[in-house]
Amino acid sequence: MPFAKFAGYPSCFCLVIAFAVSACTTVEKPSRASDSDKAAATQPARTAAYSGRQGAAKPTPFADEEESRTVYFASSDATIDSQGAEVLRQNALKLKEDAQLVVVLVGHTDNLGSSAYNLAVADRRTEAVSERLRSLGVARSQIRRLPVGSEQSSKLKCDSEACRRSMRRVELIYERR
């Protein structure tokens, strides 16, 4: 028995071996967040996740094509129109091709209505998009929802219907596991 050879050595020998083995491994210490890191963390999710994590082997789908990752909605509505259905069909294909992809559904509303109402509308929209992706065969584990309502849009000056329509959306933001 090979283990029997070491049974007679003092227990401190085992500690020395354990220490030597542990010295061979390194642990990266997290760096302190710089001011630029703190500023980036306060930006909307859409600016940080378009290209996925740094160092990712594969680029994320539609990284430079915002329109290919966005579903628009009518005022106070969560119904997906034919154009939105096509956007989701294309995104579902990409998600099914790569199980390491995760999509965050970021739901926005225009700047009309109360914060609570807009958050509820954004939640209904992200739920509708999630359900459509699931019906197209995307795994539940690849979908995350983040309704933000009018949190960001309420700060914008927007008086035209065209401007408000651009606010009423669900963005599909890709990340890699």
Percent above pLDDT 90 for the chain: 54
Task: For residues 135 and 133, give the distance between their C-alpha atoms in angstroms, rounded to a whole number.
Answer: 5
Say if 117 falls within a structural domain.
yes
Residue 68 pLDDT > 50: yes
156 in helix, strand or coil?
coil
pLDDT at residue 159 in the model: 82
Say if 38 falls within a structural domain.
no
The pLDDT mean for the chain works out to 76
Query: Of 97, 110, 5, whose CA–CA distance to 58 is shortest?
Result: 97
Say if 13 falls within a structural domain.
no
Residue 45 pLDDT > 50: no
Say if 147 falls within a structural domain.
yes
Q: What is the DSSP string of 51-86?
A: T-STT-SSPPTTTT-GGGGEEE--TT-----HHHHH
Say if 65 falls within a structural domain.
yes
Sheet arrangement for strand 169-176: 70-72, 169-176, 101-108, 143-149
CATH number of the domain to which 140 belongs:
3.30.1330.60
Say if 8 falls within a structural domain.
no
Say if 167 falls within a structural domain.
yes
Structural domain range at position 57: 48-176
pLDDT at residue 154 in the model: 59
pLDDT at residue 38 in the model: 36
Q: How many domains does the chain have?
A: 1
H/E stretch holding 148 reads strand 143-149
Other Cβ atoms within 10 Å of 86 Cβ, number:
13
For residue range 97-116, list pLDDT tens digits in order. Answer: 999 999 999 999 998 889 99
Triad 37, 95, 78: Cα angle to 5°: 85
Compute φ and ψ for 110, nearest 5 degrees: -75, -175
Does 32 or 59 have the greater pLDDT score?
Answer: 59
Backbone CA torsion sign across 78, 81, 87, 89? positive
Say if 6 falls within a structural domain.
no
For residue range 107-161, list pLDDT tens digits in order. Answer: 999 988 899 999 999 999 999 999 999 999 999 999 999 999 988 765 677 888 9
Mean pLDDT value of segment 26-41: 39
